[in-house]
């Protein structure tokens, strides 16, 4: 959330916040500006949501979705910078930073590359060892964060399809995004109750589902969130 700019409206962020328990707020490197970030934090604090930093590669033109050949030291520095800035904003506005979830290409790279994952985890620990790291279920980011004693939340996606290795289907490929609300709800139910997902190939892939991601910029984000929330609570699952 918070991925708009200045005079631009916040989109569906306000409505989406009514159906979730935590938010990942852009830190300015892929999207967002100080005013937008402040408004997003204030709104989330007012709705009593858990606040997360959403650091990315320094890539505003590519919305943080392009891979960048940066060293582990560079990644450590820009994650430290972004997370520290959002932490300060949260505290200034009466909230408290709860977790860190990398964005876009940084998230995908950290899922598979131990060196980058370790750099992110070290930056998070340097700021606050109580912060929770959100990472793709089964990823190197989860492994590296747990290795240095950080708490983690294994993340699954309601609006993305999966490959047989438990990775997300790259956005450049067909069928990477789920746009049918029934398919999104069905996938979430499978992941939560069966701890598995059906890949595009039809293979059954085991995973651990502890937090569910819905992209705030998706055209069906609010409806997905509403349906998923109501479907889970109807089956006795508390969202908290």
**Is residue 199 included in any domain, yes or no?**
yes
| Structural domain boundaries, residue 193 | 13-234
Among the ranges given (65-69, 81-85, 124-128), the one the predictor scored with the smallest mean pLDDT: 65-69
Q: How many domains does the chain have?
A: 1
Going by pLDDT thresholds of 50, 70 and 90, the confidence category of residue 6 is low
* pLDDT score for 217: 78
What is the secondary structure of the chain as a DSSP string?
---S-TTS--TTHHHHGGG-SEEEEE-SSSS--HHHHHHHHHHHHHTTPEEEEE---S-TTTTT-S-----HHHHHHHHHHHHHHHHHHHHHTT--EEEE---HHHHHHHHH-HHHHHHHHHHHHHH-TTPEEEEETT-HHHHHHHHTT-EEEEEEESSB-B-TTSPBPPTTSTT-B---HHHHHHHHHHHHHHSEEE-TTS-EEE---SEEE--TTSTTHHHHHHHHHHHHHHTT----
Q: Which residue has 């340097």 as its token pair? A: 126
Asked if residue 9 has pLDDT above 80, the reply is no
**For residue range 118-127, what is the model confidence (pLDDT) as tens digits?**
999 999 999 9
What is the secondary structure of 97-129 as a DSSP string?
EEEE---HHHHHHHHH-HHHHHHHHHHHHHH-T
pTM for the model: 0.94
**Is residue 7 included in any domain, yes or no?**
no
**Is residue 239 included in any domain, yes or no?**
no
Q: What are 108's two structure tokens?
A: 């995908």
Say how far apart CA 84 and CA 105 lie, in whole Å.
Answer: 20
**For residue range 11-48, what is the model confidence (pLDDT) as tens digits?**
688 899 999 999 999 999 999 999 999 999 999 999 99
**Is residue 240 included in any domain, yes or no?**
no
**Is residue 184 included in any domain, yes or no?**
yes
Task: Residue 162: give its domain's CATH number.
Answer: 3.20.20.370
Dihedral in degrees, nearest 10, Cα atoms 151, 154, 159, 160:
120
**Is residue 2 included in any domain, yes or no?**
no
Asked if residue 236 has pLDDT above 90, the reply is yes
**Is residue 18 included in any domain, yes or no?**
yes
**Is residue 6 included in any domain, yes or no?**
no
- Averaged pLDDT for residues 131-136: 98
């Amino acid at each position: 959330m918070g991925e708009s700019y200045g005079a631009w409206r916040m989109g569906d962020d306000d409505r989406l916040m009514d159906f979730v328990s935590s938010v990942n707020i852009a830190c300015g490197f892929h999207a967002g500006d100080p005013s937008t970030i402040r408004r997003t934090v204030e709104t989330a604090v007012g709705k009593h949501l858990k606040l997360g930093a959403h650091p990315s590669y320094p890539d505003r033109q590519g919305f943080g979705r392009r891979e960048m050949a940066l060293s582990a030291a560079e990644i450590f520095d820009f994650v430290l910078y972004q997370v520290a800035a959002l932490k300060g904003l949260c505290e200034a506005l009466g909230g408290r930073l709860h977790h860190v979830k990398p964005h876009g290409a940084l998230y995908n790279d950290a899922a598979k590359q131990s060196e980058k994952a370790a750099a992110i985890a070290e930056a998070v620990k340097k700021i606050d060892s109580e912060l929770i790291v959100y990472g793709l279920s089964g990823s190197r980011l989860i492994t590296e964060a747990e290795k240095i004693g950080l708490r983690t939340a294994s993340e699954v996606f309601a609006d993305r399809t999966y490959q047989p290795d438990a990775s997300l289907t790259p956005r450049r490929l067909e069928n990477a995004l789920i746009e049918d609300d029934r398919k999104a709800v069905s996938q979430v139910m499978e992941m939560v109750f069966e701890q598995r997902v059906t890949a595009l190939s039809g293979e059954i892939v085991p995973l651990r589902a502890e937090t569910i991601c819905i992209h705030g910029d998706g055209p069906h984000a609010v409806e997905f969130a509403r349906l998923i929330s109501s479907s889970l609570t109807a089956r006795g699952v508390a969202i908290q």
